[in-house]
Structure 1
Amino acid sequence: MRLNLPDTASVASLKEFAAAGADVPRENAETREENGLRPEGAATVSLPGFAAGTLAAVPAHGLDPAVECGANGLRSATEAPHTVAIYALGNFRVIRNGVAVPRTAWQSRKARDLLKVLVSRSRPAPRDQLMEVLWPGVDPGKSSNRLSVLLSTVRQVLQPAKDDPQPLLTDGTSVWLDSALVSIDVAEFRSTAISAVEAHRAGRTDAVARMYRAAGLYTGDFLEDDPYADWAQHTVEELRALHQAVLRALIHHCQTNGDVDEVVRHTLRLFEDDPYDEQAHLNLIKVLITAGRIGEARRRHDIYRRAMAEIGVEPRAMPALRPRTAALPAWPPAAL
């Protein structure tokens, strides 16, 4: 089946729908309590300044090191828009202007959950869907008010300076993150992986570089630090399947070119996603035998037998040893 990149909303020409909190009614005490926010009059949490020694880490986030500290954190000499980087592959992290946003800045776990849901989407999320995910079964009138409060909180965290462009946008019915101001590792991996697999299947010359790029972007499953978020499971499986497709394409490429070590490396990484992939187990054993690495092949066969026993599948016997040949077997493998 051919993979197609989902359509995304064009937001470059959209202006901010409202300043932080503009569409938010004054929340009552009950709403603030439901969202875990501080009561009126309580001290707000300020994000930390740019600590000494942090400047050296700025290039790692793709920012110009020629920056200066200001009242709202980092600001470039040219007054470039504030930028946000969101990482959700592995542990969830938000980097604002080169500085990690601490948990205390969110005031509410639901606010973080809202941002996580938006990160998982490849298109704007309707408000009613967000309400159902965050407060299933709650009266829409009540959950709509709660959502407005959370939107205000997320805006303040992502861009506390009201005069600056807002990364979080809404048109009254849907909510999304402005791709011009926010970089998201999930979106980058998704688009890179899909284009890499398509390039491989089309036999394009840039396929290998794209595949290695995609494999490098996958730094862990989606929201590994929040494994009990039921709503996230679809995204977890989707991104994991894309990662596996990239790895299988790399195995095919390396096997065709006789690179045994790379076949082993990508196959072992494939097992991290799916330790019960029988086809991959059998292929690796056959490749190792063909390359004359008999000891490794026997160890891999023992691992394969144990994995199959765990899922109640009868394992195949260790294949007969063959003299080393010049070419590795084809992928996908024939039966041993």
Structure 2
Amino acid sequence: MVPINRNILLVDDEPNTLSGYKRLLSSYFRVHTATSGTGGLQLLEKEGPFAALVVDYAMPGMNGVEFVINARRRAPRTTRIMLSGRGDLDIAIEALNRGSIFAYLKKPVSVEELLYTVIKAVEQYHDQRNDFSGLEDDQLSGLSHLYAGLHYSDLKDTSGAITCFREAQGCFRAQGDQTNLLRTNNYLAGEIIETGQLEDDSLYAEELGEIVTEVSAILKAERSLLSPEDQQRYPFLASMTGDGGTGPPAGGQSVSALAGAAEIERFAVQLLGNFYITKGQKQLDEHFWKRPKAKLLFLYLATHRHKKIERDLILESFWPEMTVKQAANNFSSCLYTLRQVLAREIVYFDKGFCWLNKGAFVFDVDQFEAMAGIGSNRMQEGREIEAISDLEEAVSCYTGSYLEEYSYLDWIMVERKRLQRIYLKTLIDLAELLTRQGQYAQAAEVLEKAPVDENYDDAMLYKLIKYYIKAGKTGRAQVRYNYYRDLLIDELGIEPDPKIEQLLK
């Protein structure tokens, strides 16, 4: 079999652009560069034959079209690719007609698109020479399938992407190319998760488990294959291994700085009442989360936002009926999805623990608890006017029971009851302070906000009726007594203390 010709010629008058392209392609090809059309033609004659050439259109002296016309005469079998930042249809037509180019790419061109196009150009070069039918080199064939998979992924063709990534996976395994095998596993796992069929399709779940095992084995043998940059670009790899340095960096360095990412955007999260999350001025809808379990995982981490949570505890809470392996796979896929929709530097997973970067969020619950605590402290210090203002703000923050649309999860109920107790104490303290200012009607209105639940007692109702009477609103006191008496009987099955009714007489 004829050996593969890996000679590639790059022609561009921008040295920095040439350097970037050369770094990308040198891992797979022997790359020659020229900064002018004349220099490129000289290399064609001295260093050829070349399997493919890549030339920029906008060059002084000899432009890209003129270059490919001359290159075609000197090396007719070399496959020709043209780049242009202008996106001009006339340029593309001229290059196709006069230079017989293989591909026309508009700059800026992505790494994936350029490498994929060059690989296909090399394949075209050998096909027209009848050297072989298709690429026989496992590495180049793997790259061809890998970037074809990315193309299908961009088109939202999950089935096509999975097929290509599986082919690439086999090629890289045969070649022993662990780095590209890791990358392929990252993309393949992502597409499997995108199907949304993990919990229904045992074959997908099994395949994902095999990916986890393979990734873990590769990284255990050679951790250096997954650099910090790779962890940022391929978050699935880090999330699947349960390691990979995905926790916060040491020395006070920001996560964004470590990953080379942009500054973390802050999300406003409402957990009191109905849950919603906003970024900037935009409220994010249900489609934002992609998977219901990813949303639920966020709520779990938000509920326990002040500490790190063991993965095993999450597995027991979310998938108690599954085997450890199945539950771990589901957790990994949920974590991967959550990192996709929020950002990897916002959701940490390190050494078996998972937690949120609290600096990326503003929680209404934290605001409520902070103001309630400040108001309570100032009340004890005798700073009553300031305390009233603080407690009123705390009450305004409490827009409803904690995640009130979720009534079936134990970990939500525990937090809900804790916050309800704080809210009730806040109402009582605020009402007491208002009565000290002689504002009995306002104090009664504050107590009206108290929910009738297991925390509600006769003392609360007694104060409410007493304050209305003190405010001279006896009729209102009677109406509210009748209402709360019926509510207590219906909701809690208890009768009010007879002493309360005596207040009305």
* Structure 1 residue aligned with 2:370: 191
Aligned with 1:309: secondary structure?
helix
Deviation at 1:33, TM superposition (A): 2.3
One-letter amino acid of the structure 2 residue matched with residue 26 of structure 1: A
Residues 135 and 35 of structure 1: CA distance in aligned 2, closer, same or farther (over 3 Å):
same
* Structure 1 residue aligned with 2:290: 107
Any conservation in 2 of the 1:304–1:315 contact (CA below 8 Å)?
no
Q: Alpha-carbon deviations, 1:167-219, whole Å to 9, x = none? A: 21222322222122111222332333234333323434542232122111111
Any conservation in 2 of the 1:127–1:174 contact (CA below 8 Å)?
yes
Aligned with 2:189: secondary structure?
coil
Any conservation in 2 of the 1:195–1:210 contact (CA below 8 Å)?
yes
Aligned mates of 2:186, 2:356 — CA distance in 1: 16
Equivalent of 2:333 in 129, 137, 149: 149
Residues 23 and 262 of structure 1: CA distance in aligned 2, closer, same or farther (over 3 Å):
farther
Deviates more, 1:237-246 or 1:27-36: 27-36
TM-score of the two chains, using structure 2 as the length reference: 0.46
* Structure 1 residue aligned with 2:405: 225
* Structure 1 residue aligned with 2:494: 312
Residues 23 and 305 of structure 1: CA distance in aligned 2, closer, same or farther (over 3 Å):
same
Aligned length: 257
Q: Which has the higher contact order (CA 8 A, sep 6+)?
A: 1
Residues 271 and 110 of structure 1: CA distance in aligned 2, closer, same or farther (over 3 Å):
closer
**Is 1:239 matched up with 2:412?**
no
Structure (1/2) with the larger helix percentage: 2
**Is 1:26 matched up with 2:189?**
yes
**Is 1:180 matched up with 2:335?**
no
Residues 320 and 137 of structure 1: CA distance in aligned 2, closer, same or farther (over 3 Å):
closer
Aligned mates of 2:186, 2:351 — CA distance in 1: 8
* Structure 1 residue aligned with 2:301: 118
Identity %: 24
Deviation at 1:303, TM superposition (A): 2.2
Aligned mates of 2:362, 2:452 — CA distance in 1: 26
Aligned mates of 2:192, 2:323 — CA distance in 1: 18
Aligned with 2:269: secondary structure?
strand
What is the correspondence of 1:284-295 to structure 2 with a 5 Å cutoff? 284-295=464-475
RMSD: 3.2
Aligned mates of 2:353, 2:481 — CA distance in 1: 52
Aligned mates of 1:231, 1:320 — CA distance in 2: 41
Deviation at 1:282, TM superposition (A): 1.2
* Structure 1 residue aligned with 2:395: 215
Deviates more, 1:204-213 or 1:177-186: 204-213
TM-score of the two chains, using structure 1 as the length reference: 0.67
Deviation at 1:274, TM superposition (A): 6.3
Any conservation in 2 of the 1:82–1:181 contact (CA below 8 Å)?
yes
Any conservation in 1 of the 2:441–2:471 contact (CA below 8 Å)?
no
Deviation at 1:265, TM superposition (A): 1.5
* Structure 2 residue aligned with 1:279: 459
* Structure 1 residue aligned with 2:481: 301
Aligned mates of 1:226, 1:157 — CA distance in 2: 22
Aligned with 1:269: secondary structure?
coil
Any conservation in 2 of the 1:135–1:143 contact (CA below 8 Å)?
yes
Aligned mates of 2:340, 2:381 — CA distance in 1: 45
Segments of structure 2 that go 5 or more residues without pairing to the other structure are 1-184, 206-261
Aligned with 2:495: secondary structure?
coil
One-letter amino acid of the structure 2 residue matched with residue 190 of structure 1: E
Structure 1's consecutive aligned runs of 4 or more residues displaced over 6 angstroms after TM superposition are 22-25
What is the correspondence of 1:325-336 to structure 2 with a 5 Å cutoff? none
Equivalent of 1:203 in 376, 382, 401: 382
Deviation at 1:309, TM superposition (A): 3.2
Aligned mates of 2:504, 2:452 — CA distance in 1: 28
